[in-house]
Amino acid sequence: MKQNLTIPIGQHKLPNLPYSYNALEPIISSFALQIHHLKHHKSYVDGLNKAEIELVEARKTNDFSLIKHWTRELAFNGSGHILHSIYWTIMAPAGRGGNPGLHTLNQINNSFGSFSSFQKQFSQTAIDVEASGWAALVWNPAWQRLEILAVEKHQNLTQWGSIPILVLDSWEHAYYVDYQNRRNEYVNSWWRIVNWYDVERRLLFAAKGQLPLV
């Protein structure tokens, strides 16, 4: 039986974290994680639902005068919802995230030569991305290999069709409470809480064209 993956219009939900708020300490504090999840991520979910419902209304009334605004809201909040959902699941308490899986390691070696080259390039991407940015390891289904992309404004796709696998939130709200302006410390410490089991799971889904949100 085919699983129904459709999320009805205007019914996106804030996913629960797969661990408690203090589970990622000392890398990410309970306080920072609560604000990030309950305020920032929640506002993307609310904004996405609102935009979708406003667009239903626009179609119903045949009034597309605010189409630019709602389409931007759709992109901005939809991207925020997807990226944050992935970010939560690809982290785990320090020491519980395992090591890169067989498929992950093979694909990383094929695409970047070695794990350490991948890690250096990914970290530097996260450290250098401007202001409201992300570093993202993506599966590009067009050329069937991995790539590292910097997401400078998360509503803008940087390679169409790419499926995000491992994402690192480099917006100030993700680290400022714990690290202030020391983004490099946040990025370097963050590797200790990567959930490699989830990375492997996501990569296997991506090969089938799927992007699970939980």
| Minimum distance from residue 66 beta carbon to Mn ion (Å) | 26
Instruction: Give 19 or 171: the residue with its C-beta nearer to Mn ion.
Output: 171
Q: Least distance in Å: CB of 79 to Mn ion?
A: 11
Nearest residue to the partner Mn ion, using Cβ: 169
Nearer to Mn ion, 41 or 202 (CB): 41
Residues in contact with Mn ion, counted by CB under 5 A, come to a total of: 3
String of contacts with Mn ion for each residue 157-186, x by CB under 5 A: ------------x-x--x------------
CB of 14 to Mn ion, least distance (A): 13
Q: At its nearest, how many Å lie between Mn ion and the CB of residue 101?
A: 26
CA angle 114, 94, 22 (to 5 degrees): 140
Distances (CA, A) of 210 to 3, 104, 164, 167: 12, 16, 10, 16
CB of 70 to Mn ion, least distance (A): 22
Tell me how long the chain is: 214
Please say which residue, 140 or 158, places its beta carbon nearer to Mn ion: 158
**Count of CB atoms within 10 A of residue 7's CB?**
12
Comparing CB distances to Mn ion, the nearer of 126 and 174 is: 174
3-state secondary structure of 70: helix
Mark out the alpha helices in 90-148 (DSSP H runs).
102-112, 115-128
CB-wise, 166 or 174, nearer to Mn ion? 174
Give how far Cα 57 sits from Cα of 39, 48, 61, 63, 196, Å.
Answer: 27, 14, 6, 8, 42
Minimum separation from the CB atom of position 84 to Mn ion (A): 6
Looking at the Cβ atoms of 58 and 211, the one nearer to Mn ion is: 211
Q: How far apart are CA 77 and CA 119, in angstroms?
A: 28
**Coil/strand/helix, residue 79:** helix
Nearest Cα to Cα of residue 41 among 92, 93, 78, 74: 78
73 lies in the site for Mn ion, by CB under 5 A: no
Note the residues at the interface with Mn ion (CB under 5 A). Answer: 169, 171, 174
